[in-house]
Amino acid sequence: MPTLRIVTWNINSVRLRLPLLTDLVRDLAPDVICLQETKCPDELFPHEGVAGLGFPYRAVRGMKGYNGVAVLSRIPLAIREGDPDWCEKGDCRHLGVTLDVPGGLDLHNFYVPAGGDVPDRAANPKFAHKLDFLAEATAWNQARGPARRAVMLGDLNIAPLEHDVWSHRQMLGVVSHTPVEVEALASWQQAGAWHDALRHFVPPSEKLYTWWSYRAKDWAAANRGRRLDHIWVSQDLAGSLSGCDVLRAARGWAQASDHVPVMAEMKL
């Protein structure tokens, strides 16, 4: 039974942190790596460096300065055509591919808008964009029906559960954990009947973070993290899940991203 390891990581500049991918590959041995915030136009993507790490199949969707997603794979893949241009912005926040495994496997790599600082749709256009993006994604999944043989992952910029943040009470008014965002994410998850691969293994009573702010004096001592990065699988794959990992040590690497890699393993 072939094992498939999939990693999602908001790398926060693929060119700056290309050397850290070596450490990620060493520590997690992924078959597929999904990146967000590559901040790199496609013509400048470091293809040779990534190929040298053992990822001959790559799909990239980047732009200058902001956003950008990429899928790096040991397994052949095809870029999905016809997926939406979210909020008609052309801003490189989604890349859908089909992996060439027996039976095929759809993989959707998302970078959901962060949403700015003020959790008010009327006062803050970035928050409105985040909610609109989530509503579009929900409608998209609703129209397609429950996902089958599919993985949905990325930096979703929402920490949905009480123990996905360091203090539920103190975070209720902070963008990423407000009730309106949490409800929107739950609607999306329900629309696709997605199964949370990390919480499949880690009980909801246990704290679990994938992001720690750059602004803390000592991120590890303060440990005021949030679980913003997610891996969801379709219900038909839930029984195939065989493990997961959050590479917390990556937050302590030299020139670290503020997000750490998150891995799910399944026996296909």
From the candidates 155, 164, 196, 229, which is the catalytic residue? Answer: 155
Is 141 annotated in some ligand binding site?
no
Residue 202 CB burial class (10 angstroms; 0-12, 13-18, ≥19)? middle
N residues, the chain: 268
Q: Is 27 a catalytic residue?
A: no
Distance (Å, whole) CA 93 – CA 113: 8
Determine, following the binding rule CB under 7 A, whether residue 214 of this chain makes contact with DNA: yes
Per-residue interface string for the shown chain with DNA, residues 127-166, x marking contact by CB under 7 A: ------------------------------x---------
Q: What's phi and psi for 215, nearest 5 deg?
A: -85, -5
The two three-digit tokens of residue 193, written as one number = 């009947």
Is 259 annotated in some ligand binding site?
yes
Identify the residue among 23, 25, 27, 41 touching DNA (CB under 7 A).
41
Q: Is 209 a catalytic residue?
A: no
Distance (Å, whole) CA 99 – CA 79: 9
Nearer to DNA, 41 or 49 (CB): 41
Q: Is 259 a catalytic residue?
A: yes
From the candidates 111, 177, 195, 230, which is the catalytic residue? Answer: 111
Strand order in the sheet with 57-61: 57-61, 69-73, 32-36, 3-10, 262-267, 241-246
* DSSP annotation of 165: B
Give the interface segment with DNA, choosing from 24-32, 45-53, 110-118, 243-251 (CB under 7 A). 110-118
Residue 256 CB burial class (10 angstroms; 0-12, 13-18, ≥19)? middle
Identify the residue among 85, 220, 255, 267 touching DNA (CB under 7 A).
255
Compute how many residues bind DNA; rule: CB under 7 A. 18
Give the interface segment with DNA, choosing from 24-32, 73-81, 108-116, 161-169 (CB under 7 A). 108-116
Per-residue interface string for the shown chain with DNA, residues 44-83, x marking contact by CB under 7 A: --------------------xxx-----------------
DSSP per position, 184-199: HHHHHHHHTTEEETTT
- Span 7-26, contacts to DNA by CB under 7 A: 12-13, 15-16
167-172: long-range pairs with CB below 8 Å, 24+ = 167/224, 171/226
* DSSP annotation of 251: G
Site of interaction with DNA (CB under 7 A): 12-13, 15-16, 39, 41, 64-66, 113-116, 126, 157, 214-215, 255
Binding residues: 10, 37, 155, 157, 258-259
Which residues are identified as catalytic?
A: 111, 155, 259
